[in-house]
């Protein structure tokens, strides 16, 4: 029985890792300065966007979920003929329409998959689940990596859904926004008031760089630094210490809205790499995708790991 995992373009993972494990990427539409692009997490296109400066502030950028019809067609053409069981993990439903559209598409697929199944020559029944990851970016990537581990262990269909949804609550994420004004403006256009104008003003007036920490998307500022590099170093130190203390899955996911040269120069990255290697933990280091970068702003960093309940300050 062949099990396939689907993630959307908000999920940040190394391209090599995604390719090796046969992840199917559900695209997201990016609209920049009125031009439409389809984000499939292609590394060449992503690199072109970083080099072009289209992701910098001053450009009007939005993301849009694929429609129910578009997702239905992708599932029928690409998923039904290839897999017996498909798991689709989406970016948190509180921040995107993707979960709802994928769920609606799943229902139409389940009612009409037999013809496509028969035409492909694949015998037997087909089943599918759409799961709200309750995560963003690196957190969604971490959940996908753990899900692939469960699939490799041949966990049953029903147990897989339960394990994934339960495990998601154990993921802790740090976000370092490079420009809090960018996030506030994006949130304002979406009608999300979670980032206040006062916080944005303070960030500009005092040149503060916050570290936002929490479970899934329920984060809060836990540190305010006067320097981006200091914030990065604190997050790397936290992650290294938490790796030493033990994780619930052998992965740390780190996505960065930077060029690869800038990523390799990040303070504390070598420490985190060495700590992960010493503890048999795989560091899933990736360049932040177009969708993620539009959402949180270029230059930002997102790190996720899974562990027992704790606070950021416990590992400083």
Hey, where are the domains in the chain? 3-168, 171-315
CATH for 171-315, options being 2.60.40.10, 3.30.1180.10, 1.10.1760.20, 3.40.50.1100: 3.30.1180.10
pLDDT value at position 269?
Answer: 98
**Structure-block tokens of residue 179:** 């420009």
Q: Domain 3-168 maps to which CATH number in 2.60.40.10, 3.60.15.10, 3.30.70.260, 3.40.50.10170?
A: 3.40.50.10170
Alpha carbons 118 and 291: distance in angstroms, whole number: 35
* Residues 8, 14, 20, 26, Cα dihedral to 10°: 10
Q: What is the pLDDT along the chain (316 residues), one digit of tens a residue?
A: 899 999 999 999 999 999 999 999 999 998 888 888 899 988 888 888 888 776 665 567 788 999 999 999 999 999 999 999 999 999 999 889 999 999 999 999 999 999 999 998 888 899 999 999 999 999 999 999 999 999 999 988 889 989 999 999 999 999 998 877 776 666 666 655 555 555 555 566 566 888 999 997 778 889 888 889 999 999 999 999 999 999 999 999 999 999 899 999 999 999 999 999 999 999 999 999 999 988 888 889 999 999 999 999 998 7
pLDDT of residue 223: 87
Handedness of CA 35, 104, 186, 42 (dihedral sign): negative
Cα separation, 224 vs 211, in Å, equals: 6
Q: What is the pLDDT of residue 216?
A: 78
C-beta separation of 292 from 257 below 8 A? yes
- When computed from its CA atoms, the radius of gyration of the chain, rounded to whole angstroms, is 19
Do 3-168 and 171-315 have matching folds? Answer: no
The pair of three-digit structure tokens given for residue 177, joined into one six-digit string: 């926004």
Residue 67's beta-bridge partner residues?
none
State both tokens at 202: 């303070």
């Amino acid at each position: 029985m062949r099990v396939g995992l689907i993630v959307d373009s908000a999920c940040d993972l190394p391209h090599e890792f995604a390719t090796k494990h046969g992840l199917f990427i559900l695209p997201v539409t990016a609209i920049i300065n009125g031009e439409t692009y389809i984000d499939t997490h292609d590394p060449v296109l992503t690199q072109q966007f970083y080099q072009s400066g289209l992701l910098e502030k001053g450009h009007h950028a939005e993301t849009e979920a694929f429609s129910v019809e578009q997702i239905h067609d992708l599932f029928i053409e690409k998923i039904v003929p290839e897999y017996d069981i498909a798991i689709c993990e989406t970016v948190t439903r509180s921040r995107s329409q993707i979960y709802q559209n994928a769920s609606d598409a799943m229902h139409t697929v389940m009612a009409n998959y037999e013809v496509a199944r028969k035409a492909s020559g694949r015998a037997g029944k087909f089943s599918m689940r759409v799961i709200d990851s309750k995560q963003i970016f690196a957190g969604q990537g971490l959940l996908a990596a753990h899900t692939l581990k469960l699939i490799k262990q041949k966990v049953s269909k029903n147990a897989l859904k339960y394990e994934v949804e339960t495990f998601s609550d154990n993921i802790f994420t740090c976000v370092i926004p490079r420009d809090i004004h960018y996030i506030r403006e994006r949130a304002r256009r979406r009608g999300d008031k979670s980032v206040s104008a006062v916080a944005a003003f303070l960030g500009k007036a005092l040149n503060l760089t916050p570290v936002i920490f929490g479970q899934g998307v329920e984060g809060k500022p836990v540190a305010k630094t006067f320097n981006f590099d200091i914030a990065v170093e604190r997050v790397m130190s936290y992650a290294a210490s938490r790796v030493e203390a033990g994780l619930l899955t052998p992965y740390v996911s780190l996505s960065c809205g930077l060029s690869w040269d800038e990523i390799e120069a990040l303070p504390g990255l070598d420490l985190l790499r060495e700590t992960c290697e010493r503890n048999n933990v795989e560091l899933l280091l990736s360049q932040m995708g177009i969708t993620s970068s539009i959402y949180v702003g270029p230059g930002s960093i997102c790190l996720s790991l899974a562990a027992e309940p704790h606070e950021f300050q416990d590992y400083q």
